[in-house]
Structure 1
Amino acid sequence: MSQDTEIPQYFHEAVRSMTEAEVRSGIQITEIRPPRNLAPLSHAVGLEVLHTDENSGETTIAADSSGHDAFGRLILLHDPSSEEHWRDPISDQHLPKMRMVAYIQADMDASVASDPLLPDVAWDWLTEQLDGPDCTFTDLGGTVTSTASVRYGEIGGPPRAFQLEMRASWTAHGAELSAHVTAFSHVLANVAGMPPEGVAAPRFGGNQSRQAMQR
């Protein structure tokens, strides 16, 4: 964030709410360095899907035994000089609008990645989570991309790899952003193919993703 920008108290509250947000079990949240020069004030958190090593039983953020991985980034951007505000009908206060920028990348099995409905379903996961009672937002937009990569010659990795990428942004109303982070963690869990909480560990991008798409 810019050294010349005075940081208002509500932005401190927004950062605190993101950092202290509860995320879905099986996901780890940490503060990360936000991209530079996108806004006078910014903050970012990284969300990583945890994996349990089949041999040691230890939990790590490394890829699982099949080489699948999934992670997300959620960035808060704000310009205090902006004239855009939102009036809270309950308190009658004019609260700041802040822009949330989200990114998810997840490895997929070929059977899931080839499903033509995958982008639509993944976007539905995002809208359903943000439509919860505690997320107040407008101006949601973004893209979902399903890609296939084929490796040739002397390069490491599987011969064929499939990934899903989601890029989205929306305007959050007010400084309480914990619900946005919580919602985002559930979207990441769905994209990563994690089973419902309390069920055995998933195989990322595999049958669990297909079952989630069918729910």
Structure 2
Amino acid sequence: MVVGSEARPGSGAPPDPPEFREAVRAMGEARLRPEVLAEPMPAPQRIAPYAAALSADVTVDGHDVSTGRIILLHDPAGNDSWDGTFRCVAYARAEIDLEMITDPALADVGWSWLTEALTSHGASYASASGTVTRVATDSFGAMSEDSGSAQIEIRASWTPQLVDDHLDITGHVEAWGELLCTAAGLPPVPEGVTAMPNRRGPSRRGRRGAGH
């Protein structure tokens, strides 16, 4: 999977510093479960001088059960709020059983899905922050016969850390992919079974092109 990148318009910085180019390459090498269909998407251009992003849907039996995105930000000059020069920003949304919406532990559990996924994929991180939101929907009037629905939304950001003086973004993307699957209620991949590299090619919107 080829991941594109974008530079902030007017930043005056040369495109694609080597460390960012390497990090973007590593994003494309993430091994995701076959249910996760990921592709490049336009990255925000005003948060950091350099950015790359992926979006994904988790599909089971032809139905999308969760969706999300991950954005890799890079500021060669560093960012005090990040405590580093890179930052991962992730989002995940999934349908959940309606009765789960009242569980007071749901938010803590939802956040643990992310932190445990990062740990299990060897993705060292710091300065993590985020929110877990529960949304319940009821129907009225002509739609009153429709059953209610509920969703969980997880928004998070964290600073990827060097491991043995090397920054490997692959594990962070893989952890995000696992978060999408866990939120959707998919069982863990059996021990000894290896997820395959995601082979979905870049879409037209994933091509490089600052200012588009």
- Please tell me the TM-score bracket, short chain as reference: 0.7 to 0.9
Is 1:187 aligned with 2:161?
Answer: no
How much is the aligned-residue C-alpha RMSD, in angstroms?
2.4
| SS of match in other structure, 1:42 | strand
Aligned to 2:47: 38
- Give me the whole-angstrom Cα distance separating, in 2, the residues matched to 1:46 and 1:157: 33
Aligned ranges 1:198-213 → 2 under 5 Å: none
* Structure 1, unpaired ranges of 5+: 54-61, 64-68, 85-95, 199-215
1:10: Cα distance to partner? 0.9
1:195: Cα distance to partner? 1.9
1:81: Cα distance to partner? 2.1
1:155: Cα distance to partner? 7.2
Q: Which amino acid in structure 2 is aligned with residue 27 of structure 1?
A: V
Aligned to 2:116: 128
- How many matched pairs? 174
Contact 1:19-1:31 at 8 Å conserved across structures = no
Q: Which runs of 4+ in 1 moved over 6 A?
A: 154-157
1:106-146 deviation line (CA, Å, top 9, x unaligned): 11121222322111111112111212463121101111111
Choose from 103, 125, 139 the match for 1:115. 103
Aligned to 1:8: 17
1:35: Cα distance to partner? 2.2
Contact 1:28-1:48 at 8 Å conserved across structures = yes
| SS of match in other structure, 1:197 | coil
1:40: Cα distance to partner? 1.0
Aligned ranges 1:161-180 → 2 under 5 Å: 161-174=149-162, 175-180=167-172
Is 1:79 aligned with 2:75?
Answer: yes
Identity of paired residues, percent?
35
Aligned to 2:61: 52
1:4-50 deviation line (CA, Å, top 9, x unaligned): 43121110110111122111332122111112311111111112102
- Give me the whole-angstrom Cα distance separating, in 1, the residues matched to 2:40 and 2:107: 28
| SS of match in other structure, 2:85 | strand
- Give me the whole-angstrom Cα distance separating, in 2, the residues matched to 1:185 and 1:17: 14
- Structure 1 residues 15 and 107: CA distance shift in structure 2, 3 A: same
1:83: Cα distance to partner? 6.8
* Structure 2, unpaired ranges of 5+: 1-6, 191-212
